[in-house]
Structure 1
């Protein structure tokens, strides 16, 4: 949770895309991102739009939460970033991850999940990424599917609505899950089932039709 430049995430994602292209030439590429991974996916696709057949975003970080990024807090973060960049701010409240208590418990006990506070320096990187996404949105022409819970306290749904309304793409869809929290793919069972069906069918519909082999001449 201490990266000097958000671009590192985009660089690594594109490196992986290049690896997949070399291993599976000719296959369409889709990228799926959740939360901060959604922000990474958006900026990755913006960097090389021709590489992607579609982008799926589950509760993506498009904008900073207006309650946590007030003008005063942003100003304070900039000051602290110069003085004590390693200072940690508040951590994520796990109760807002899912409405399923079992999923919250799994999140709390997952050793691969960072449970500490967000450093000021990383918060600045997130704000920079959100500002960059806002500038890029009007130019977005690639197909995308947005899924978001309207009771998401971690990544505000206004960002997804703004992206859907302002992106120039003609192939775009926003599906809102009423009452759902942040991790839609780990929410209540019926939401999880719907999300998986929605994502798989959306991708399948955008796969190129299989072409029949040319008849052999005798």
Structure 2
């Protein structure tokens, strides 16, 4: 497995740590955008598959997440997260001028990636969304009216049919295991509405993948957002029985093969 390097930059709300998995002779750059409460270190196997496919892979730990600075999981405005992702993309372009850039966003990272594509889609070759928080999210709708955030931890059984995934998640000290921040919930609500209202991604090729048995980010809710941003270049795959983290599911090899096949179809190769 490829060992990543890290670098730090001054993000919009404090120091942000980014990871890079370098390929010796890359033919494209893949930018990974992770989900709520986690960090990019959980994506080593995804990065390894992409590096073997010909990518240099990079991405940040979002503010308040993983190795980056900030109060844990506090996001005041998701436009700031998008701006930090843009810093990573521009750095990758500087290191690899002329290479196409693909973006892969999971869960909350799918919301960030979709918004990035709305603002900077002309600079992307394609977008892949995995179990994206788009359209509406029942978690936000349930938490928004509450003054106090519940302290119940996430049910790790919702992540994958592979029990080792939940065990690793629970034991990971860089994963946030506490409650939502109320300001983050408000920011998520604003970001969902903003993406819905902004509209289609136009001709940008988009791959949408989702586990049919995902109860953490329900496919029927994400469908609302996918329909709001879709253009003529949408390809989708729903995996029967799969839960939220399709890159960590028992059929992860199939999912990763679908992603790399989509990249080949768009980029050629």
TM-score, normalised by the number of residues in structure 1 = 0.83
Any unmatched runs of 5+ in structure 2?
Answer: 1-72
Are 1:112 and 2:184 counterparts? no
Residue 100 of structure 1 is matched in structure 2 by: 162
Shift of residue 139 of structure 1? 4.8
RCO higher in structure (CA 8 A, sep ≥6): 1
Is 1:170–2:232 an aligned residue pair? yes
Q: 1:69 to 1:167 in 2, by over 3 A?
A: same
Q: RMSD across aligned C-alpha pairs, in angstroms?
A: 1.9
> 2:15: which partner in 1?
none
Tell me the equivalent position of 1:69. 141
TM-fit CA distance, 1:166: 4.1
Cα shift at 1:168: 4.8
Which consecutive unaligned segments of at least 5 residues does structure 1 have?
A: 81-86, 210-218
CA-CA distance at 1:29 after TM superposition: 0.5
State the shift of 1:161 in Å: 2.4
Call closer, same or farther: CA 1:151–1:186 in 2, change over 3 Å: same
* Residue in structure 2 matching 1:88, options 149, 165, 168: 149
Do the aligned residues in 1 keep the contact of 2:111 with 2:192 (CA within 8 Å)? yes
Deviations 1:143-189 (A, max 9, x none): 1000001111111212432344443521111110112100001111x
Q: CA deviation at 1:7?
A: 1.3
What is the distance in 1 between the residues matched to 2:199 and 2:210? 17
Aligned to 1:131: 193
Q: Distance in 2 between matches of 1:112 and 1:5?
A: 22
- Taking structure 2 as the reference length, what is the TM-score of the superposition? 0.68
- Residues 1-218 of structure 1 aligned to structure 2 (within 5 Å): 1-66=73-138, 69=141, 74=144, 76-77=145-146, 80=147, 87-89=148-150, 90-188=152-250, 191-207=251-267
Q: How far did 1:46 drift?
A: 0.8
Contact map agreement 2:196 2:228 (CA 8 A) in 1: no
8 Å CA contact retained: 1:94, 1:107 = yes
Give the Cα–Cα distance (whole angstroms) in 2 for the partners of residues 126 and 19 of structure 1: 27
Distance 1:177 1:169, change over 3 A: same
More helix by share: 1
Q: Is the 8 A contact 1:98 1:182 kept in 2?
A: yes
How far the C-alpha of 1:65 sits from its partner, in A, is 2.8
* Matches of 1:167 and 1:30, distance apart in 2: 17
